[in-house]
Amino acid sequence: MSSSSPVSVLWTPHPKQIEALERSEFEILYGGSRGGGKTAAGIAWIAEESDNPNFRGLVLRRNSEDLKDWTDRASRLYRLLANPGTKTGNPPEFHFQSGAVIRTGHLNDADAYTKYQGHEYHRILIEELTQIALEKQYLRILSSSRSVIAALKPQIFLTTNPGGVGHAWVKERFISPSPPGKTIWDHGRTRVFIQATMDDNPTLMNNDPQYVANIEALKEVDPDTYYAWRFGDWERFSGQVFKEWKVRTHSIPPVVPSKNVQHVLWMDWGYAESSAFACYLSALIPFTTGDGQKYTQIVTYKEWYGNQIRPKEWAKRIYTECKKIGIRPAYGVSDPATHASAQSGDQSISSLFEDEWKSLDGQYWCRFKAGKNSGRNSRIGRVGMMHEWMSINPSSGMPYWVVTQNCVHFIETVPNLIHDEALVEAYDTHQEDHAADACSYGLEKVRFTSVAPGAHTYRAVEKMKPLYNAQNQELAISPKAFSALYPKI
Ligand SMILES: Nc1ncnc2c1ncn2[C@@H]1O[C@H](COP(=O)(O)OP(=O)(O)O)[C@@H](O)[C@H]1O
Ligand SMILES: [Mg+2]
């Protein structure tokens, strides 16, 4: 923060806050853990240009209560400035004597992501960024950040802790590309992540040991929340639904399983820009353990994912690619909505696929079963089923269900899903949950048998052979390579 900032006479930032406030990147993400002085830094940052009569700022928080807390805190500071800012209206606006204005809003508003479009804000502050579910929604807000006034450079200041419905995209955009403090370049624009933990806030550490102690108390009870809040750990975060999902055990190199087992298609329909189509091809492989227990091993090995593509076109792509590897699905499972005809009497989405396949193949190449309804109990049931399939089979040492590494959208989204606060056994449906939805509708149609421990046998290696398609060497991996991945087999 420059010493010319109007706030500097009343408030002295800590060193980490200075670092964040002095950055010149277009987007600055500040924070990582609780109590790092994020909110305080944001309050100072957005008022830096309040002496400029043309300045327009925008502050966004999660809901009206959070916003009230922010405006109360900001008001205590702004009214003491030489050029005081007065809070008026609802949602509150700060009108400075100079003529500068800071508007505020919250994201629970139905039109939160569109109402600022076409406006011009020189600075936008978004608190708790991971509360925004989709990157697209964030980019929409970003588009109102601009300036026709040379002295007012557009800039965005963001704060957050790990966790929240937007955890995955925020991590991808700000955390993964570069170490903290290093500029990330993206099509000529810049952004940076400045990491602050409560250790960077001496006021808190010295004056409120109870706050620190309260968070320390979480260490044993809820370690994921503890590491996220105390140290800003982006790998372990609070609320993750599929904690058991590990890249090293649940994903395997690309394979095409043998034609001699049943293959099935699992689909979740989506067309809109804010939605996605997700479809998976999986092999259901019957196994018998050394002591005669039968179970099904699932390998999900092909993914179709995207949006704004019509059913006919997807159907064609799926058909062509399946033909190429010589696979015909035994059946499909799709989300229940794809079985409903539109009110106008239009064809259902699932039958559009089936008809296109019929015209390509001359017969009904694949028919869809409807996934269970998407009500409350079904959502809980589907998540429960996914947990079962992700569990480790004691006889093989591998999960009952593995996904190949070429299913990139699955791997990017499913492990990052977080709980729905209103329904903790299910995932929050505001996130990118299409991969999870598609697979969960499909998994429900497969009989899950858990294997009793002690049935382990090395002969299982032989039985893994259906996983490898000898004709398709470039996609197959050898049993040796496979058993290296799963040394117990
Ligand atoms: N530079 C500072 N000087 C004095 N107190 C500060 C400073 N920065 C933060 N604080 C105080 O530390 C506490 C935590 O800061 P806050 O901004 O709420 O953290 P966060 O938003 O990261 O959880 C608050 O009581 C706040 O007033
Ligand atoms: Mg805060």
Q: What is the pLDDT of residues 140-185, one digit of tens each?
A: 899 888 888 889 999 999 999 888 888 888 998 999 899 999 999 9
Cα(387) to ligand 1 centroid in Å equals 40
**Residue 93 above 80 pLDDT?**
yes
Q: How many domains does the chain divide into? A: 2
Atom of ligand 1 nearest to the CA of 34: 23
Atom of ligand 1 nearest to the CA of 43: 17
Indicate whether 416 belongs to any domain: yes
| Band (3; pLDDT cuts 50, 70, 90) | low
Q: Which ligand is nearest to the CA of 15?
A: 1
**Residue 443 above 90 pLDDT?**
yes
Q: Which ligand is nearest to the CA of 36?
A: 1
Q: Is 32 in the pocket of ligand 1 (CB under 6 A)?
A: no
| Nearest CA residue ID for atom 23, ligand 1 | 35
To test ligand 1's pocket by mutation, which of 39, 198, 231 has the most ligand atoms within 8 angstroms of CB?
Answer: 39
Query: In the prediction, which pLDDT does 320 show?
Result: 96
**Residue 212 above 80 pLDDT?**
yes
**254 shares a domain with 226:** no
Give mean pLDDT, residues 286-303: 86
Atom of ligand 1 nearest to the CA of 40: 17
Report the share of the chain in percent with pLDDT over 70.
Answer: 91
| Band (488; pLDDT cuts 50, 70, 90) | very low
Q: What is the pLDDT of residues 240-273, one digit of tens each?
A: 899 889 877 788 878 788 787 899 999 999 998 8
**Residue 13 above 90 pLDDT?**
yes
* Residue 366 and residue 335 in contact, taking contact as beta carbons nearer than 8 Å: no
Burial class (CB in 10 A: 0-12, 13-18, 19+), 84: middle
Cβ-proximal residues to 456 (8 Å cutoff; 6+ apart), any chain:
289, 290, 394, 395, 396, 397, 488
Atom of ligand 1 nearest to the CA of 33: 22
Query: In the prediction, which pLDDT does 455 show?
Result: 54
Atom of ligand 1 nearest to the CA of 31: 22
Indicate whether 1 belongs to any domain: no
- Which strand ranges, in their side-by-side order, compose the sheet holding 331-334? 251-252, 401-404, 294-306, 277-288, 262-268, 331-334, 368-370
Query: In the prediction, which pLDDT does 468 show?
Result: 41
Position with higher pLDDT, 110 vs 420: 420
User: Which of 170, 204, 231 is the last residue in one of the domains?
Assistant: 231
Q: What is the pLDDT of residues 174-205, one digit of tens each?
A: 998 999 999 999 999 999 999 999 899 998 88
| Band (454; pLDDT cuts 50, 70, 90) | low
Position with higher pLDDT, 99 vs 464: 99
Indicate whether 237 belongs to any domain: no
**Residue 138 above 90 pLDDT?**
yes
Q: Which ligand is nearest to the CA of 38?
A: 1
Q: Is 14 in the pocket of ligand 1 (CB under 6 A)?
A: yes
Position with higher pLDDT, 265 vs 426: 265
| Mean pLDDT score across all residues of the chain | 87
| Nearest CA residue ID for atom 19, ligand 1 | 37
**Residue 90 above 60 pLDDT?**
yes
Position with higher pLDDT, 424 vs 52: 52
Query: In the prediction, which pLDDT does 173 show?
Result: 94
**406 shares a domain with 282:** yes
Q: What is the pLDDT of residues 323-348, one digit of tens each?
A: 998 899 999 999 998 998 755 567 89
Indicate whether 12 belongs to any domain: yes
Torsion angles phi and psi, residue 145, rounded to 5: -95, 105
Give mean pLDDT, residues 56-80: 95
**293 shares a domain with 170:** no
Q: Is 6 in the pocket of ligand 1 (CB under 6 A)?
A: no
pTM comes to: 0.72
Q: Is 17 in the pocket of ligand 1 (CB under 6 A)?
A: yes
Kindly report the CATH number assigned to the domain that includes residue 473. 3.30.420.280
| Nearest CA residue ID for atom 10, ligand 1 | 37
- Cα dist from 109 to 60, 104, 106, 323, 403, whole Å: 11, 12, 6, 47, 38
Cα(108) to ligand 1 centroid in Å equals 25
Indicate whether 65 belongs to any domain: yes
CA 39 vs. chain centroid, Å, equals 24
Cβ-proximal residues to 76 (8 Å cutoff; 6+ apart), any chain:
none
DSSP β-bridge partners for residue 30: 159, 194
Burial class (CB in 10 A: 0-12, 13-18, 19+), 392: middle
* Residue 29 and residue 158 in contact, taking contact as beta carbons nearer than 8 Å: yes
Indicate whether 455 belongs to any domain: yes
Q: Which ligand is nearest to the CA of 127?
A: 2
Query: In the prediction, which pLDDT does 251 show?
Result: 86
Report the share of the chain in percent with pLDDT over 90.
Answer: 52
Give mean pLDDT, residues 460-475: 41
**263 shares a domain with 138:** no
**301 shares a domain with 437:** yes
**253 shares a domain with 227:** no
* Residue 271 and residue 310 in contact, taking contact as beta carbons nearer than 8 Å: yes
Using alpha carbons only, how large is the chain's radius of gyration in Å?
26
Query: In the prediction, which pLDDT does 28 show?
Result: 98
Domain span at 351: 247-485
